[in-house]
Amino acid sequence: MAQGRRDELMVDGVLIEALAEVAKNAALLQGVLMRLQESPNTSELVSYAPLTLFPSPVPTAAFLQSLAVQTHFNTLVDKISRDADFLQEALASTIEVDDFTARLFRIHQHVLEEGRAQSIVLGLNRSDYMLDQQEDGSSSLKQIEINTIAASFGGLASRTPDVHRQVLKVAGKLEESQRILDNNPAKGLAEAVAKAWELYGSERAAVMFLVEENQRNIFDQRCIESELWTRNIPTLRKRFDDVSETGSLDQDKRLFVGGLEVAVVYFRNGYMPQNYVSEQTWAARLLMERSLAVKCPDISTHLAGTKKVQQVLARPGVLERFFPDQPGVVEQIRATFAGLYTLDMGPEGDKTVAMALGAPDRFVLKPQREGGGNNIYGSEICRVLQGAQGSADRTAYILMDKISPAPVQNYLLRRDGPLRISTCLCELGVFGAYVRHGDVMVLNECVGHLLRTKSSEHADGGVAAGVAVLDNPLLV
């Protein structure tokens, strides 16, 4: 939608209120749902998932660039997960000071020493980008991170296009409504899970969704479960406690939970330190990693998604290690990298600290954490780095150039939230899915996209964290 025509809609308060009701009802009708904060484990009371009233403009060239590079990122993540020496070198400084990453790495080492029980690898990831606005008005696609574990909202993103189509039709914008892209990551993600299940080779065995204690975002996962059930693939939903109490391996290392054989473990939990509440939880993760079940992700793929690995990949010559004699692929991937800087002890790390302290507003300080809301900005960067001066504690972080996207105007619809126009920033996610069997990549696809939008007053945080909302790109 052209900005002028968008503004015409936005100044008519009566029309906006009517369209907001259309959007909320369409979201409920399409199943764009979340459980309530106050009752996260019951579906007796639900609401529409937060979303924008209008789709947000995204440049066509950048959007197509993000889709085109995704299969290369899938390949890169898989190659990293198979390169034990690289993971050891990349994470050596981090595991000295970051206990969470160190514990994950010890599980990785245990599996390597014992030998991987399963040669089938399933990867479902999401590469996240923002458009960095240049001084001359141009913009370039820059990767924020790649999520290799529990990459969410593929399900709900499959249901949102019809919401914005309906809003635009009611607003009299038929041409714009027809430009909303079809998008069904739930189907593509499920197809990869189904392929891994098929290769496992037991019709009785189930796909186990390993889920959190509180499940507000259950409908996002149910979209993928529904796709699996249409293929007659049984699914289970289990928590770490269930695995601790009823999980076991037989002599062939087949995983059983509650007496049922598990073909695929799909981790929608286990990406944050607070997910591991006891030694029993860590033991359950190790049990699953040692098993014959296909893990999504397996422990080495989980580690491949760490911020430290992201920073190391940006160093000169590193991508060439994984794509020898493929300069075109290297160029495509590298073009998406923002500036990434080491905080390892030594002259290079010291230079990074000085650079950050000199201009903290130009950077983001990132710990080795997933799930949103963990990054550090502005004066807080100075506080953290000055507190760690001369200490290896700083190596728990990486420093990254702060991306400055062009703001857009939109309405953010939230349950009980005010209906007012906001200056917003958009983040584009691209879903990738791959299955490898031994040395053969049997599936490698880009399966869809996700646009999330948040008020510019918030520096960090996603939909699950209560900051961003779901959106759709309108290509311009």
Residues with catalytic function: 126, 145, 147, 152, 307, 366, 370-371, 452
Q: Which residues pair with residue 411 across a beta bridge? A: 421
Please tell me whether residue 213 adopts helix, strand or coil conformation. Answer: coil
**Segments in 298-422 forming alpha helices (H):** 299-304, 307-313, 318-322, 327-334, 347-358, 379-387
Q: What is the DSSP letter of 337?
A: B
**Rounded distance between C-alpha atoms, residue 108 and residue 112, angstroms:** 6
Report the chain's terminal Cα–Cα distance, integer Å.
8
Phi, psi of 260 (to 5 degrees): -105, 140
Long-range contacts of 349-358, Cβ-Cβ distance < 8 Å, separation of 24 or more? 349/394, 349/395, 352/399, 353/385, 353/389, 353/394, 355/399, 356/381, 356/382, 356/385, 356/399, 357/381, 357/382, 357/385, 357/386
**Segments in 171-278 forming alpha helices (H):** 174-177, 185-200, 218-230, 240-246
In this structure, what token pair is assigned to residue 97?
């000071």
Length of the chain: 476
**Rounded distance between C-alpha atoms, residue 430 and residue 432, angstroms:** 7
**Rounded distance between C-alpha atoms, residue 151 and residue 447, angstroms:** 13
Phi, psi of 44 (to 5 degrees): -65, -35
- Write the CB contacts of 175 (distance below 8 Å, at least 6 apart in sequence): none
Tell me whether residue 221 is exposed, middle or buried, using C-beta atoms within 10 angstroms of its C-beta: 0 to 12, 13 to 18, 19 or more.
Answer: buried
**Rounded distance between C-alpha atoms, residue 247 and residue 309, angstroms:** 32
Neighbours of 386 (CB within 10 A): 10
**Rounded distance between C-alpha atoms, residue 55 and residue 166, angstroms:** 11
Query: Does residue 423 come out as left (phi exceeding 0), alpha (psi in the -120 to 50 range) or beta?
Result: beta
The angle at the Cα of 428, spanning 424 to 434, to the nearest 5 degrees, equals 160
In this structure, what token pair is assigned to residue 445?
């696809």
